[in-house]
Structure 1
Amino acid sequence: MRKQTVQAFMTIGPVVIAPERTLADAHRLMRERGIRHLPVVDAGALVGVVSQRDLYLLETLRGVDAEQERVREAMATEPFAVPPDAPLDQVADHMAEHRLGSAVVVDRGVVIGLFTTVDALRALGTLVRRRGTRPARTPPRAPPAGVSRRPDR
């Protein structure tokens, strides 16, 4: 089986936002497009990523006005960026280890895709179906009411 890359499963041409746009603008874009992550691009270069969770967290702070505050205040300034030919398993492992919701796919300095946890789950489903694999064992069923799994000692 050939090595799978992130490019095969990424969302192509993601919606991006400028750091000077407001948090309200970011929310609006996310709602309209049904997305939870926005790469932040300034003069064509990736400078951050903002998630729906980032926006909600910042907006819970006293005195924050979503119509006035800028995306740069909510974005992560060191986004996980990968090339399109990055191995899928390595990207997924890194995202899981660091509890990241997305990887921004960048080719020659240009954002070309976004690989999210939803994309990772789609990839998992596709790869399992292709291999025709089944779980090594079925999960145990819950015992009937009043019966303990642990034997008495």
Structure 2
Amino acid sequence: MQQVKHLLDTKGRGVFAVAPDAPVIEAIRLMAEKNVGALAVMKGSELVGIVSERDYARKVILKDRSSRDTPVADIMTVSVVTVAPDATVDECMRLCTDSRIRHLPVLDGGRVTGMISIGDLVKATIFEQKQTINQLESYIAG
């Protein structure tokens, strides 16, 4: 079973982040520029929240708030679900499903070392299933 650290080895450990006092428009621009759906909200090296496109849609757009005048801290999710590098893909899929979330910051010793998405988890699951199928086909044919 693949672990989060293996996913990060493949996809990279870059974490896109924004400060809690930054205007929401800055967060949305960074998400668009980096083609991601969520950002870590960091105060120095401390993870204080996560902000997603869903937060923006529900807490800014639907409430007719200004993206320029609203700080990220006002819309971010503060009770962040995180995982350790040794968590398995299955554990992460279960967390995402049960918590109804799409992004998981990876913490190693209290430090953010990566971010994985539900897309990363699905991709890893499909890859593993293809490997299993190939092994079974080789066994049957061999």
Root-mean-square deviation (CA), in Å? 1.3
Query: 1:69 maps to what in 2?
Result: 70
| Percent of residue pairs bearing the same amino acid type | 26
1:14-93 equivalences under 5 Å are 14-59=15-60, 60-62=62-64, 64-93=65-94
Q: Could you tell me whether the CA contact under 8 Å between 2:92 and 2:121 is conserved in 1?
A: no
CA distances 1:34-59 after superposition (whole Å, capped 9, x unpaired): 11010111121111111111011112
TM-score w.r.t. the length of structure 1 is 0.80
C-alpha distance in 2 between matches for 1:105 and 1:93 = 15
Q: Which has the higher helix share?
A: 2
Q: Kindly state the Cα deviation for residue 6 of structure 1 after the two structures are TM-superposed.
A: 1.4
C-alpha distance in 1 between matches for 2:128 and 2:52 = 27
C-alpha distance in 1 between matches for 2:82 and 2:95 = 11
Q: Could you tell me whether the CA contact under 8 Å between 2:38 and 2:53 is conserved in 1?
A: yes
C-alpha distance in 1 between matches for 2:119 and 2:88 = 17
Work out the number of aligned pairs and report it.
Answer: 130
Structure (1 or 2) with the larger CA radius of gyration: 1
What 5-or-longer segments of structure 1 have no aligned partner?
134-153
Report the residue type matching 1:103 in the other structure.
Answer: L
Q: Kindly state the Cα deviation for residue 79 of structure 1 after the two structures are TM-superposed.
A: 0.8
C-alpha distance in 2 between matches for 1:26 and 1:120 = 24
Q: Kindly state the Cα deviation for residue 72 of structure 1 after the two structures are TM-superposed.
A: 0.6
What 5-or-longer segments of structure 2 have no aligned partner?
135-142
Is 1:5 the counterpart of 2:3? The answer is yes
Query: 2:137 maps to what in 1?
Result: none
C-alpha distance in 1 between matches for 2:42 and 2:83 = 15
Counterpart of 1:9 in 2: which secondary structure? Answer: helix
C-alpha distance in 2 between matches for 1:21 and 1:130 = 44
